[in-house]
Amino acid sequence: MEVGMERLECSPDVAFTKEVIANGGVDLKKCYQCATCSVVCPLAPDKNPFPRKEMIWGQWGLKERILADPDLWLCYACGDCSVQCPRGAKPGDVMGALRRTVVSYFSFPSFLAKAVQTQRWFLFLLLLPAVLFYGLLGLGQDFGWAEFARVTFEDGGLKFDRFVPHWLIYSVFFPASAFVVLAFAVGGWRMWQRWAGNGEEPKQAGLMESLKDVILHRRFDKCDEGRWRFLGHLGIFYGFVFLAITTAATIVMMYGFGQNPPLSFSPSHFVDGLLWKIIGNFGALILIVGTWLAIQKRLNAKDQVSHFCDYAFLGVIMAIAVTGLGSEILRLLATGTRSAGLGKAAYLTYYFHLVFVFYLIFYAPYSKMAHIVYRTLALVFARSRGRIA
């Protein structure tokens, strides 16, 4: 078949095909190989175009070919192919199902990927961080639920570190982040090794151009159906970028300049407070707008059926942005009015914010969030092999 694939195992695996169908590729077997999908796809390379070959391999259960295929991640799920498919095989949905299936094979540990991708496990996985934080907040008498019961306003008003101390946040998120880095490293290494095993020799480097693709979203706007989707994804991506900048600035202010949160809203403290507040709140707002656009695009896409994972991911992001902004607004209102009721509402909203943030971070290697790593690796690999410009 395609150049560079001769070494791969071609034995059909019926169980793999069933797994792809269960992961959202329900219309896979409707495909009759007309190649319309590859013809209309604006992102498919001239050599080894997708998604027709992936549709064939998925139907035949050629698992080894699918696992060694970086082109799965060059698809941006715009849906042009599904709109034009004369058989209603929904190649865009199938490509998404194939990606989810591939993640479960390469992930560390794999059972966690399968749990994150299964709807019935969603509430349980969300309950884990909820129970974890609930238990930790009950350990002391000067923070957590003890502080929730009394609501302290001394020394500048309501402060979240009285409810959730910084050391407690570090003790949870630092180990969780280390685990996530390890999981991504293992999954990325396994995936790259499988791609490199197809016999293609490196021709050039592609890291910088691939990073430009990610940062500027250069490939998103090539799709006919992708304009609003492009703006939605852009809002989500840069919303997280601005929030990350604010988080980093807050840490620098805390440990570099000895200024504990909350940072000041006063114009006289522009560099050491107001600037980072503006950036953080702007990030939260565009995160909400971007997520809303992405949800609307999926709800209105009649030729695509979004998988549970897509809505779960977007729902968690929206929850993070809303609870983050909500906890800040409630804190300011509580400080201004000295209302214990508003203080408790602020603390509770912040508690849920931490739960959703933990869910997004800890399960990132197994959710839609994995795209930011695996798609970047695929772009680098494809460029290094001369598959894309």
Residue ranges of domains in the chain: 14-106, 110-384
What are 77-129's pLDDT values in tens digits?
A: 888 899 899 999 999 999 999 999 999 999 999 999 999 999 999 999 999 99
Rg (CA), the chain: 23
Enumerate residue ranges in the chain where pLDDT < 50.
1-6
Residue type, 245: I
Contacts of 244 by beta carbon, 8 Å cutoff, 6+ apart: none
pTM of the model: 0.92
At 313-355, the pLDDT tens digits run: 999 999 999 999 999 999 999 999 999 999 999 999 999 999 9
